[in-house]
Structure 1
Amino acid sequence: MTQRTPARTRIRESFNSRTVFILAAVGSAVGLGNIWRFPYVTYENGGGAFLIPYLIALLTAGLPILLFDYALGHRFRGSPPLAFKRLHRHAEPIGWLQVGICFLISIYYAAIIAWAAMYTWYSFTQAWGDDAESFFFTEYLQYDEAGTAGSGFSVDFVAQVGWPLIVVWVVLLIALALGVRRGIARVSIYAIPVLFVMFLLLVGYSLTLDGALTGLNALFTPDWSALTSGSVWIQAYGQIFFSLSVGFGIMITYASYLKRRSNATGSGLVVGFANSSFELLAAIGVFSALGFIAVAANTAVDEVASSGLGLAFVAFPTIISEAPASALLGVLFFGSLTLAGITSQISVLEVAISSVKDKTGWSRPVTVGLVGGSSALISVVLLGGVSGLTVLDVLDAFSNNIGIVAAAFIAVVAVTWGFRRLDVLAEGMNAYGSIKLGVIWKSLIGVVLPVVLGVLLVMDVRAKATEGYGGFDTWVVLTFGWGALALVAVAAVVMTALPWRSKSALHAEALQDEPEAEKSPDRTGARD
């Protein structure tokens, strides 16, 4: 008698429904960068005119690579290393590269969530006083200027930074230990609707402020000459790529939790356009508020406009102090940052946890304890101290601008030209997808994306290799920048060399060559 093949779909956890998957994916894509990066990038690169290259970048790069990640996860039903291994026996290291990048990001991302949570509390009393910049760097972070260059580097614990960071990690690890349905799904079901309601209220409030129209005019007045600048187009592709959480394993992992007969292409379009809609909403809210402070200070918008930490923890506290109903504005803004950060951080950590769990066969609680606990320990030691901002700055610059782009570049080139498996991915998505992937999608993945990613990668590597980064000492950049990336590469080789102990890897070859339409039906639920 022929031995019956085990039902693999019953082994792997799954989301309760397609709706829950979409909420989780949107929660991952909508992060801190949507709120504090997109508005400024738009303003600096042609204002309203920037929306044209941004939309083109979304259609020609963002959505195609989002569907590429979905196809890998949904077809091969595994974390990045397992999905790539099932795609081709030599592809597993690509997955571990993505896992390593996620691990690096998880170390510092939690710190920003902790800061936002503390500032939500500070909003009730406006604890930052009249000088938000001095309070943030000197009183709150206790950041020593000597540490800017690295010579004064210290991990001395800062209570108001370290203890909230520990609390954030406890919440994250509990949510992840509860699993896909009881943890990740439930957080997404509650957090994402609350996040959107809070941000809608924030935008509505900002539009009522005096000077809001001034800020919006500064943001959206088009500079059509910007469309002839190559750097503007590079910025558009870079923004859409970074904002969708693509290229470093998150969407592969989440798509692997979809039920087999899911409309993954339709879900991808919903997630992609929801993410961009949130970015546009964020730009309206942020620049309405910046217009208010510019008018109040009798200065130009470009003198108060900023991006990143400067916008969140310096400019916005200043706005909050001057605005009516300031506590409400502060809670809405920093509460939104906290929720957006938590949902994104959960997705980042889940990549590493799911990958190690697949490789070792360990239970989820054990894997969360070892992998998540390791990330938490490193995070508290490095980011809970006096020089935490230095570590965050360097790790962010190298893991995002070099690590993610390099991993994505290697993935699309290898799958398209090395392993020639794009047809297999398209077949898997087309089996149940409402939108069929064909020649256009394959051309965008195989031609446009390698060019875009290659240009982004070469430009950033060349700049950091020749100019250093941020004025930091060489040893700081070598340790937390180039050294961290080198460690990820070494870890990818080591993890690939370890044997697979999980039963989920036993059917890799069968999965690799089995047409999606001919697979055993998933009788655990109807088509989503």
Structure 2
Amino acid sequence: MEKKTHVNDGFEAELGEINGDAKVIDTKHTFHDIVENGDLKRKKDTEVDGYDVGMGHHIAEEEKGGRPAWDNQVQFLLACIAYAVGLGNIWRFPYLAQTYGGGAFLIPYVLMLIFEGIPLFLLELAVGQRLRQGAIGTWMKFHPYLGGIGIASMVVSFMVGLYYNTIIAWCFWYICNSFTDPLPYANCPVVNGTEYVSECVNSGTTDYFWYRETLNITPTIDDTGGVVWWVMVCLILAWGLIWVTMIKGIESSGKAMYVTATFPYLVLFIFLVRGLTLKGSSTGVTYLFTPDVTILANPQVWLDAATQIFFSLGLGFGGVIAFASYNPKKQDCQRDALIIALTNSFTSVFASIVIFAVLGYKATVEYETCLDGNINVVLDYCDLPEGTITYDNYDQQIQGLNTTWTNCTGGVPLPSLPYCNLQDILSEASQGTGLAFIVFTEAIINMPGSPVWSVLFFLMLLSLGLGSMFGTVEGVVTPLFDLGLKVPKPVLTGIVCIISCAIGIIFCTRAGNYWVDIFNSYAGSIPLLVIAFFEITVVAWAYGVKNFDDDLTWMFGGPKSIAGWCLHWYFRLCWLIISPVILLVVFGAYVYTTAIGSFEYAGWDGDGSQTTQVYPWFAIFVIMILIVLPCIFIPLFWIYRWAKYRFFHGEDSEGILVDKSWSNFFSDMFFWKNKY
């Protein structure tokens, strides 16, 4: 091939011949031969790389290449699945399904998934992949004044990570205590050689081990009670594991995702097979999916369904944006969003089947124990032969004896018998730590080979927690790193982990469980709804769905089939109208229920019972901080940037919305006018 240099009006290029055809290579732009609709077209690198399309104008030179990347697409999908599928899928979704009519709860859940969850998830994936920045950098690309949205996401991720890793620490403690037979929570401890501890007798073995042996809990949140050293050691271990795993960013944590994303499914499948072979498992699964459609008239059902979808997918935390920023510039993020969101919801349903198969077994054991006690009392008082009363004829026999008790007991009144009802036992709803560390462990101790099942169960919780923590910490570290901090990323990750561990000591005190409940209830609630509303407003309304559609088309192409056109219209209508309306309604309902609700918690008394307590003033103050602190950064950052530019002669504002022609505000909504 012969090459020549040609200068024309200051334009320098190289001329060559390839198979007799002239090829021009601009020394400023590389030209590529692209086939479009069967026609060969020559385009500059800025067109091929998308820097001349939509948001691409605002990708800085240093961001066009050199950013860390996933090894492959599977690794990215597993990372997002591990982040989205967390402890809430195991203990919150089953609780909500149990509370709200079983199968009937799936109706609002699926509707909220379709109209709220998936559209918002795709939006975060798309902006992260397109702008190749963390949460703060992404929203500052839209406008320098909007960096507060990213800061709010980072603060929420930081606050959630504080308590979430404490749960991982508890999992470490239970794993360490699962290598004995019998399990330490299978029997009450003995004092004075002959007597069982009264607190354990009154509360139950699993309750006692959780509240006394693990947490050593105080009766109220006012009494801090000092640090529980074994929990603190486990917390240090948990944060150390997070740092070691993330020390090289996604290069190291991405490898860990192969385990944290797949191992829980293996354990769930094992528990499913084992659970379905236990007596009473079918009763639990049937109870779960027996619909009570009348419950749909309760507005709280729809609110809880919306918040479950929202928080389960990790929307508003910044982790999704951070993960997507390591994607190739051209990747079908629409397909990825559908795969991840549907996998997350499938996991919730699958985990519920497993949980209720085991809980059905537990309820059956309790029910039969109750019947055995009543049967023995009646046989003894009435002097009846063994086998007269069985499980099958219990109700009939007891009802028949109602008229003859006086005669069969020789005039001695029969003691009142406990009421045994399988459905009542199944309806005793538990969620969160109560379901994992008390109710489920009670079922485990009744299984043959219980130590093996205990190890498997808590290893599964550990994997789920770690997968979510990787994304949560990434939602803190990536925005800070993208801001240009002159700190190596491993060091920055270590600093975040050390600070989080130091603050997390409050959860290691004897009152720590009360603080975990506060953070769990309020750290990731209203702020996430506010963040998501600003995100969708900025992209769909300020930037414009039509312009956003150009970016999506460049990343993965336009619709090419009937299904593609359906998805095309579905996503854009949700971004433009449906999802913002749902967010506003859910936000208003959430604020209303929080305002009229009472700030109460369940305190653990030393006698093994629980009493309702009112949060003291300092706890309510912390609740207000958890709600307000992330949100306040949005207007504060806006004011700071405006004041810096207005009064301190800051640099000129640059951003997608700064350069936007606002005379096209309404026309930028007309996505249907785009050509594909």
1:285 aligns with 2:354: yes
Question: Following TM superposition, by how much is the alpha carbon of 1:476 offset from its aligned partner in structure 2, in angstroms?
Answer: 3.4
Change in Cα spacing, 1:332 to 1:100, as seen in structure 2 (3 Å) is same
Kept in 1: contact 2:154–2:317 (CA 8 A): yes
- 2-structure distance, mates of 1:391, 1:422: 42
Alignment correspondent of 1:132: 206
Q: Any conservation in 2 of the 1:34–1:278 contact (CA below 8 Å)?
A: yes
Task: Report sequence identity in percent.
Answer: 27
Q: Quickly say closer, same or farther: Cα 1:423–1:405, change in 2 above 3 A.
A: same
Larger mean Cα displacement after TM superposition, 354-363 or 457-466: 457-466
Is the CA contact 1:415–1:421 (under 8 Å) kept in the aligned structure 2? yes
Aligned residue number for residue 309 of structure 1: 433
Match in the other structure for 2:627: 485
Q: Does 1:459 pair with 2:584? A: no
Tell me what 2:73 maps to.
18
Distance change >3 Å, CA 507–CA 166, structure 1 → 2: farther
Letter in 2 for 1:259: P
1:440-459 → structure 2 map (5 Å cutoff): 440-459=570-589
Q: Does 1:343 align with 2:417?
A: no
Q: Which residue of structure 2 aligns with residue 172 of structure 1?
A: 242
In structure 1, C-alpha distance between the alignment counterparts of 2:556 and 2:154, rounded to whole Å: 27
CA distance in 1, matches of 2:131, 2:658: 7
Cα gap change, 1:98 to 1:271, in 2 (>3 Å): same
Once the 2 structures are TM-superposed, how far is the Cα of residue 370 of structure 1 from its aligned partner? 2.4
Q: Counterpart in 2 of 1:246?
A: 315
- Check if 1:319 corresponds to 2:443: yes
Output one character per residue of 1:411-443: Cα deviation in whole Å (capped at 9) or x when no partner: 2234333x2343333332332337576443222
Q: TM-score, normalised by structure 1?
A: 0.88
Counterpart mapping for 1:10-89 below 5 A = 10-89=65-144
The superposition leaves residues 211-241 of structure 1 with CA deviations (integer Å, 9 ceiling, x where unpaired) of 1001011101122333444332333222212
CA displacement, residues 137-172 of structure 1 (integer Å, 9 cap, x when unaligned): 12210110122xxx2135x22122110110000010
Listed as ranges, the matches of 1:350-389 within 5 Å are 350-361=474-485, 362-379=487-504, 381-389=505-513
Whichever residue aligns with residue 464 of structure 1, its letter is T
| Contact 1:212 1:292 (C-alpha < 8 Å) held by counterparts | yes
Unaligned runs of 5+ residues in structure 2 are 1-9, 11-26, 30-59, 188-204, 368-421, 558-563, 602-613, 645-650, 661-676
Deviation at 1:13, TM superposition (A): 1.5
198 and 508 in structure 1: CA distance in 2 versus 1, 3 angstrom threshold? farther
**Secondary structure in structure 1 of the residue aligned to 2:175:** helix
**Residue deviations 1:66-88, cap 9 Å, x none?**
10111121111111111111123
* Residue 495 of structure 1: how far off its partner (Å): 6.8
Q: Does 1:263 align with 2:332?
A: yes
For the pair 1:431 / 2:554, whether they are aligned, the reply is yes
Greater relative contact order (Cα < 8 A, sep 6+) = 1
Distance of 1:293 and 1:506 partners within structure 2 = 66
More strand by share: 2
Q: Is the 8 A contact 1:395 1:480 kept in 2?
A: no
Deviations 1:33-78 (A, max 9, x none): 0000111211222212322322222211111111011112111111
Whole-Å Cα distance in 2 between the matches of residues 350 and 473 of structure 1?
33
Compute the TM-score of the two structures, normalised by the length of structure 2.
0.70
Residues 510 and 303 from structure 1, CA distance in 2 versus in 1: closer, same or farther, beyond 3 angstroms?
Answer: closer
AA aligned opposite 2:206: A
1:198 is matched with 267
Question: In the comparison of the two structures, how many residue pairs are matched?
Answer: 502
Query: Which has the larger Rg?
Result: 2
Residues 93-108 of structure 1: matches in 2 within 5 Å? 93-108=148-163
Corresponding residue of 2:164: 109
Deviation at 1:280, TM superposition (A): 1.1
1:455-513 deviation per Cα after TM superposition (whole angstroms, max 9, x unaligned): 322233233333342344342333321123333345567777589xxxxx999748998
Post-superposition shift, 1:366?
2.5
Task: Report which stretch shifted further, 223-232 or 383-392.
Answer: 223-232
Partners of 1:204 and 1:513 in 2: CA distance: 59
Higher mean C-alpha deviation, range 426-435 or range 317-326 = 426-435
Corresponding residue of 1:118:
173
- Of residues 152, 163, 183, the one that matches 2:223 is 152
Q: Distance in 1 between matches of 2:459 and 2:284?
A: 23
Q: CA deviation at 1:408?
A: 1.4
- Rounded to whole Å, the distance in 2 between the matches of 1:372 and 1:146 is 29
CA distance in 2, matches of 1:319, 1:209: 11
Secondary structure of 1:11 counterpart: coil
Once the two structures are overlaid, the 10-residue window that deviates more, 26-35 or 237-246, is 237-246
